[in-house]
Structure 1
Amino acid sequence: MENGRTVATRDAPRKRELVFFQDSCTGCGMCCEVCTSNAIRLGPTGAIARGVVDAAYLAVNEDCKLCGLCARVCMFGALALYIDGVKEEYDALGSAGVKGGCKFCKLCEEVCPRDAVTVHRTMPGMGELVSGEFKIDMEKCIYCGICQDICPTGALTVERGGLSAKQRGVSEDTPARFERIELDESKCVLCRICARACPVDALTVTQDACDDKIKITGEVVIDNNRCSWCGWCEEVCPEKVIEVQKPIEGDIEIDVERCQGCGTCVEICPCDALYFPLTEYIKIEESYALDRGWSKPIRPRAIPVAVQLKVNKQRCIFCGACANACPIDAIKVTRKKIRMMDTLPKPTQKALSKLMEA
């Protein structure tokens, strides 16, 4: 329950707690739509998303029956039902997975609007990448430290220092100075720069010919508690090894005559599916002349302005967050089908059918 807040609780016959995670909530309102006791109310989600109002997206009153339907339908893990301290787990409405053949390019990680994708690359060590031999002629080495200073990977360490008479003691066998040169083989790439720089030719470096393809391994982790199954990762994957099944089929309509371009819907959309196309920068040569000045009441390189709100329906999951946030009701979201609906218990199917009512 870390970072969560208990919004409803009951102790008998078993302890049941409904926990709300504000950071995960998108204000989609699906929990409100399925609640059989009308115990959940949305706040001013648009104003909250824009930072105008400091409040939670939703509130739960004492009428809550702690049935867990809201937690079952929440696609973002913002609501969770705990029974005797154990979280109830449900099959996700959507799914996302990675097949074999991933090149670990990290495009999916970079494009994910909810930071739900993490790509771990496993790079081979230097010893696996290059092979050869590094030799130091200790008779020639003067411990000048040039090789250490010029080494691009910091693989060489050279030390040289004098000893005082007290440090040497009374024995004539104790040297008047000490020297040390060491190579960190895990860093050395056998580039031969040190050998070329050595003023006394004390270093010999040889590298074996190796043209084998370097194999990069790794792992792609998709956090299903954050994933909204929008499909951006699937779209950008150059190897087409990501498969996403969206949780809901539906449609979204924008009343362009009503839309004022405030951008609240763009701010709250969990899928980056809404956007404003931008006008092109003006062409100075067509709008300005030295003898006449500006032919249009505009400035060069002015910030482009939004033309009209657009939606990428392929990336929309029809959650309804944009429609709830719109201050002038210019957006309408219609849901037509919910994935996995047929596999759910009949009472749950009946409750979730409210999501598809016009």
Structure 2
Amino acid sequence: MASAHREGQDNREVIHHNDICVGCGICSDICPTNALNLGPILPIARGIVDMDYIRMDENKCVVCGLCSFACPFNAMEFKINNLAAKNMKEYPKWGHGTNIDQEDCILCGKCELYCPRDAILVRRDLPKVKNLVSGEIKTEVDNCIACHICEEMCPADAITIKTDSSSNIGRFNASDIEIDPEKCMYCKICQKVCPEDAIKAVCTTCMDSENIPPVEITGNVVLDEISCVNCSWCENICPSNAAHTLKPFKGEVLLQENEEEDKLCTGEACHACLDVCPCNAITLTDNHMTVNDDVCVLCGACEKACPQKILSVDRTSMELSNIKSKSWQNILGSLID
């Protein structure tokens, strides 16, 4: 974690949080004193080099805080007298963000599975199996030959065969057949596969289905807004339209190959763009990079990492407002083509 401090009428501090930095280099691009330098993002992303994405020269940094307001990913923090400047009305405000409607969410967990930043946690309270099924199981341990077939075949993993060693015959015998009532579904598979009739099951679920209470799944979805980069993967894969995302930028990533200058995508031989993308927005198709515009946040990390220099991020608008300073308008405006 890099930081810079300045004391005066106000105590100011800029902090770089590498754990949530995506290596896009936006902060270093707009720094008016060249105090920020982007490290080798590809070796860092691949784990070859252990260092921060951003190196900060405290001697050059004037702690203006411009980098923190240019960063749409919360990786740069600017404090004035230990208070977060982003909450102060005189400074610029980002309007992008992600919201998950708890009322519409069906707790399927797809958003958690697809999130490239591990920013989503789905917490589900599932009903117990024993409250949804009913029946009876009887075991005859004296008939059991400890073949373990029922244990292996049980789809609910509800059966455990306990064994002991009998010295007079030199092999294991069954000492108990344990049935977990929390797991058993009374499907009768154990009875059907047992070669010695050691298990007998009766399922009353179907006969008494009208008395089984409705299945209710409760829980909630927790979104880590600090780690979230607003890529909209959750919105794109949500089957109940419960996730809603506004990205920080609009635009596109352009692939500008030039055969005469030997500037061609090398695909699998390189895949640098794929390795640094924080959104899993890049795939290799026909040995060429392809960008999924639906989930790309136009951060520019791929452009910085491309050794062929054939990628260009074309931003046409951004969700940053309340830029009151004319000089800041000019500098922050450079993020948009």
Q: Helix, strand or coil for the counterpart of 1:109?
A: helix
Cα gap change, 1:58/1:143 in structure 2, threshold over 3 Å: closer, same or farther? same
Report the CA distance between 1:253 and its aligned residue. 1.8
> Which position in structure 2 is the counterpart of 1:240?
241
Cα gap change, 1:92/1:130 in structure 2, threshold over 3 Å: closer, same or farther? farther
Listed one character per residue, the Cα deviations across residues 177-223 of structure 1 (whole Å, up to 9, x for unaligned) are xx999875434434456788698999775524326663433323332
Distance in 1, matches of 2:42 and 2:20, equals 16
Q: Structure 1, unaligned stretches of length 5 or more?
A: 161-178, 279-305
> Which position in structure 1 is the counterpart of 2:66?
69
> Which position in structure 1 is the counterpart of 2:90?
none
Among 280, 296, 300, the residue aligned to 1:320: 300
Residue 71 of structure 1 contacts residue 81 of structure 1 at CA under 8 Å; is this kept in 2?
A: yes
Distance in 2, matches of 1:22 and 1:123, equals 37
Distance in 2, matches of 1:252 and 1:142, equals 68
How many aligned residue pairs are there? 304
Distance in 2, matches of 1:83 and 1:239, equals 42
Distance in 2, matches of 1:142 and 1:273, equals 57
Listed one character per residue, the Cα deviations across residues 89-131 of structure 1 (whole Å, up to 9, x for unaligned) are 5565422222333333333223222222332332111232123
Distance in 1, matches of 2:289 and 2:284, equals 5
Q: Helix, strand or coil for the counterpart of 1:24?
A: coil
Report the CA distance between 1:248 and its aligned residue. 0.8
Among 91, 108, 111, the residue aligned to 1:108: 111
Give the aligned residue type for 1:37: T
Q: Helix, strand or coil for the counterpart of 1:356?
A: coil
Distance in 1, matches of 2:293 and 2:199, equals 67
Cα gap change, 1:208/1:232 in structure 2, threshold over 3 Å: closer, same or farther? closer
Distance in 2, matches of 1:231 and 1:240, equals 12
Report the CA distance between 1:244 and its aligned residue. 1.3
Distance in 1, matches of 2:309 and 2:18, equals 24
Distance in 2, matches of 1:106 and 1:237, equals 9
Distance in 2, matches of 1:157 and 1:106, equals 34
Q: Helix, strand or coil for the counterpart of 2:230?
A: coil
Report the CA distance between 1:8 and its aligned residue. 0.9
Cα gap change, 1:130/1:252 in structure 2, threshold over 3 Å: closer, same or farther? same
> Which position in structure 2 is the counterpart of 1:330?
310
Report the CA distance between 1:146 and its aligned residue. 7.8
Residue 96 of structure 1 contacts residue 244 of structure 1 at CA under 8 Å; is this kept in 2?
A: yes
> Which position in structure 2 is the counterpart of 1:20?
16
Report the CA distance between 1:243 and its aligned residue. 1.4
Cα gap change, 1:156/1:70 in structure 2, threshold over 3 Å: closer, same or farther? same
The answer to whether structure 1 residue 276 and structure 2 residue 279 are counterparts is no
Report the CA distance between 1:44 and its aligned residue. 3.4
* Equivalent residue runs for 1:113-152 within 5 Å: 113-132=116-135, 150=150, 152=154
| Aligned-residue CA RMSD (Å) | 3.9
Cα gap change, 1:89/1:185 in structure 2, threshold over 3 Å: closer, same or farther? farther
Residue 38 of structure 1 contacts residue 63 of structure 1 at CA under 8 Å; is this kept in 2?
A: yes
Residue 73 of structure 1 contacts residue 352 of structure 1 at CA under 8 Å; is this kept in 2?
A: no
> Which position in structure 2 is the counterpart of 1:231?
232
> Which position in structure 2 is the counterpart of 1:175?
none
Using the size of structure 2 for normalisation, the TM-score is 0.71
Residue 252 of structure 1 contacts residue 318 of structure 1 at CA under 8 Å; is this kept in 2?
A: yes
Distance in 2, matches of 1:204 and 1:111, equals 41
* Equivalent residue runs for 1:175-186 within 5 Å: 185-186=181-182
Distance in 1, matches of 2:46 and 2:231, equals 22
Q: Structure 2, unaligned stretches of length 5 or more?
A: 88-92, 165-174
Cα gap change, 1:222/1:200 in structure 2, threshold over 3 Å: closer, same or farther? closer
Indicate the larger mover: 127-136 or 214-223: 127-136
Using the size of structure 1 for normalisation, the TM-score is 0.67
Larger Rg: 1
* Equivalent residue runs for 1:247-286 within 5 Å: 247-257=248-258, 259-261=263-265, 262-278=270-286
Residue 34 of structure 2 contacts residue 60 of structure 2 at CA under 8 Å; is this kept in 1?
A: yes
